[in-house]
Structure 1
């Protein structure tokens, strides 16, 4: 029997129902407002630790760090509720033989729809005209002359599950030409996902809309800086529903204030939620939301189901469907067999980025 600890709650109650119906594992809640002594009394005997993937929702002491791992000697699996794994130190987990998994793809439709809604809102001045009406506007409707999305050039940075879904919607639903850049995929695979593979520089220069759907890593941190924004097409729109810090907030504000970019749709921030005085919240050319792109009832239930079934799969001795650090699998298998014995874990699934 494995001990599965989860921080506060799963993304939806159906996860606990699935784990309970399986009935073979101990499932224990860790409360973020409990004392560290009480929390680590549970964590110290846990074989799996499930928590949300956004840093601002997890206290520092309960993020999976080297110190955390030193107090969790039995830990085999660190599982994120969504696709982001910001709260897990991947290097430390790999060194400790801990497999990190996520629920990549479970919220793809929801996030893709959210990104699309931001694009359309900016192109059709929905937020700006809504606010004008509420303030008593009585001018001409032509003050809000919009732009059609049809046949525009869409650039997608990171064409994993979410990026691929957005590519399909824009290409099939609006006749857009879709470009993509993704260091993990070859030209043929990017084409299969509905986009033309181009360099990052070409994507910047030719896209009417750029939408970011890549993890936050050392390689993507500040990927969109002043230089990148300056290379973007004049009048282009920038969307980020992935992670804050992939773009420089100051550089984006400068590009918007200078009129080089027409607008931005932001669901993620360096600090979440951003203060009301934030520079990017001061204008009407930014559509802003508080990291809710994946927050739909269907998405949360899907993520919860994926998390629960993946944990059951792993502790049944089968390969993890969505490993984030697959290089740890040989060491993980040794540790797993040390705890539970038996065979299995011989497969190696391809990580979904």
Structure 2
């Protein structure tokens, strides 16, 4: 039977209050908030009635039973859409969603400027050895500045792994500000597409060998999990820096530790971790040439508001029967359309 009230829920928090403001302005929509600690008798009926699940919390901030897996989907028979706050969708089993006829969308591009600026900031901080100098001044007397000699990024080569919204912005900044050569590895784009984004297409091994800086900007998928390991670090130049603002598990933290310990690379800028936030005793945090942040590259006022707004607008468009612009699993559309028509009585565009 077709229904009129559209049900959306989230757990813990949203990217920005604007999301709730936009949705609550619609009289045909109800927005529910759950907590990680919500009792079964509270969250079970919300899951059962929900049409949309807006995931606001990061992977390690979200209770495991609220990750989108087969069991949650079984308990949410009316669920049509799973919407992830940022570009990543780690807490979502996309294959399980596709099998269940559930559309998965993200907010790709919503925080691209913020993440790109963070990556560039890490690159320059590492090059100029600013973090090492800061730590030396706080720890030692009579610091020898010549022992902290840095390098210029001007005219160097950066290798961008994944040249989507963030990678493209990094390419623009590096070429425009610093006259850098940009190499890119992205198996989902053609050479002409990559060239249009300001980079030269290369295979991953060549990118690692030639780059003075390697920036990881791809989503975490089955293909990218563990993509950068001991072999890949061994291909990098001894003066090169490794920077990632993508997702944990794309690079092997133990292999990176060994590469830094053995001075096979010059340093690393890490915004993402296998456990977030990492504990203070994490081995990688013991290196002075590691610049670390707790997955904050996309955490700016501007990015959060932008992501909240585009997430709300995308959900409303989808619930009004339009095709969302940021679909992760487009192959689900026929099954999703049939379920949408069954629940709401109209066939989506």
TM-score interval, normalised by the smaller of the two chains: over 0.9
Unaligned runs of 5+ in 1: 346-353
User: What per-residue deviation string (whole Å, max 9, x for no partner) do you get for residues 262-285 of structure 1?
Assistant: 000001111111121111011101
Alpha carbons 1:7, 1:30 under 8 Å: kept: yes
Give the counterpart of 1:175 among 179, 189, 205.
179
Contact 1:53–1:85 (CA under 8 A) maintained in structure 2? no
Matches within 5 A, 1:134-213: 134-213=138-217
Partner of 2:245: 241
Aligned-partner Cα distance in 1 for 2:323–2:124? 41
TM-score relative to the length of structure 1:
0.95
1:295 equivalent among 299, 310, 320? 299
Moved over 3 A (4+): none
Report if the CA contact (8 A) 1:8-1:30 is conserved.
Answer: yes
1:252-331 mapped onto 2 (5 Å cutoff): 252-331=256-335
Output the TM-score relative to the length of structure 2. Answer: 0.97
C-alpha distance in structure 1 between counterparts of 2:216 and 2:57, whole Å:
18
C-alpha RMSD over aligned residues: 1.1
Q: Give the number of aligned pairs.
A: 345
Task: Report the 3-state secondary structure (helix = DSSP H, G, I; strand = E; otherwise coil) of the residue aligned with 2:324.
Answer: coil
Matched-pair contact (CA < 8 Å) for 2:136–2:143 = no
**Structure 2: runs of 5 or more not aligned:** none
Question: What is residue 132 of structure 2 aligned with on the other side?
Answer: 128
- Alignment partner of 1:58 is 2:98: no
State yes or no: 1:75 paired with 2:74: no
Q: Deviations over 1:6-58 (max 9, x none)?
A: 11221110111111223331111122111133112111100000113631011
SS at match of 1:159: coil
CA shift at 1:160, angstroms?
0.5
The corresponding residue for 2:18 is 14
2: CA distance, partners of 1:91 / 1:199: 27
Q: CA deviation at 1:225?
A: 0.7
Deviation string 1:289-342 (CA, Å, 9 cap, x unpaired) is: 111111001111111101101100101110011001111011101100111122
Cα distance, 1:249 vs. partner?
0.6
